[in-house]
Amino acid sequence: MPRKRRCCPPGLPVHVVQRGNNRQACFADDTDRKAYAHWLREGAEKYGIAVHAWVFMTNHVHLLVTPPAADAISRCMQYLGRYYVRRFNYRYGRSGTLFEGRFKSSVVQSREYLLVCQRYIELNPVRAGMARDPAEYTWSSYRAHAFGKRAGLWQPHPEYLALGKTPAERRAAYRRFFVQEVSGRVTKDIRDSLNKGLVLGNSRFRDEIEQLIVGSE
């Protein structure tokens, strides 16, 4: 059965998840995470990708990115996998694949869904019981958004910038956003869209993306 065609239209944000093969750990310590962040930043710069949000868990990574071209994310993830896996295998005396063969992705509608998806990404450590508050977890973009922590990877999305006229206003609004209760339906929609390669957005937006795909075939 042929693979479903990946949808990453230029200029639209995409939620990406890269998992360890068979759910194995892809980070043993912070040194590994620093190396992954380094190659992610290099790959993003090489292929012109804006990285808006991220979280590095033990056996998977969530990213929210905007590509300039349809194949930019695939090229970036291949670049990242090639260099990071080589280093990981050398460090731990192993060989073979580290990540699942194909990362998961879902196009995200900016206006209504982007910040919701971003919050979902940054709350991963809380849902996993690794932190009580997203600010406690070092390896996510939350502290950049909520407190202005410098991060070389970070290119804030316009939807985040629209939260306030000044950095302080934006940070305060973002922190308030995290106090709101996250509905189970929203979480399910994000997961279903990602796992099934669907579009995260309203029906009109999904139809527009479908037309883009059909028109490019």
Q: What is the CATH number of the domain that holds 52?
A: 3.30.70.1290
Asked, for residue 73, whether it belongs to a domain, the answer is: yes
Residue 197, by phi and psi: left (phi above 0), alpha (psi -120 to 50) or beta? left
> What is the rounded CA–CA span in Å between residue 25 and residue 20?
6
Q: Does the residue 9 lie in any domain?
A: no
Please report the pLDDT score of residue 206 as a whole number: 67
Mean pLDDT of the chain: 89
21: in domain: yes
Q: Could you tell me if residue 82 is inside a domain? A: yes
Q: How confident is the model at residue 212 (pLDDT cuts 50, 70, 90)?
A: low
For residue 206, being part of any structural domain is answered with no
Whether 88 is in a domain gets the answer yes
Number of domains in the chain: 1
Give 202's contacts (C-beta < 8 A, 6+ positions apart). Answer: 109, 112
pTM of the model: 0.90
Percentage above 70 pLDDT, the chain: 91
Residue 200, pLDDT score: 82
- Among candidate residues 80, 78, 98, 79, the one with its CA nearest the CA of residue 88: 98
Region 129-150: what's the mean pLDDT?
Answer: 96
Structure tokens at 195: 């796992």
pLDDT at 216 over 60: no
pLDDT band per the 50, 70, 90 thresholds, residue 2: very low
**Assigned domain for 154 exists:** yes
Out of 83-97, 113-127, 181-195, pick the least confident: 181-195
- Domain contains 213: no
Domain enclosing residue 22, as ranges: 14-201
Instruction: Please state whether 213 falls in left (phi above 0), alpha (psi between -120 and 50) or beta.
Output: alpha
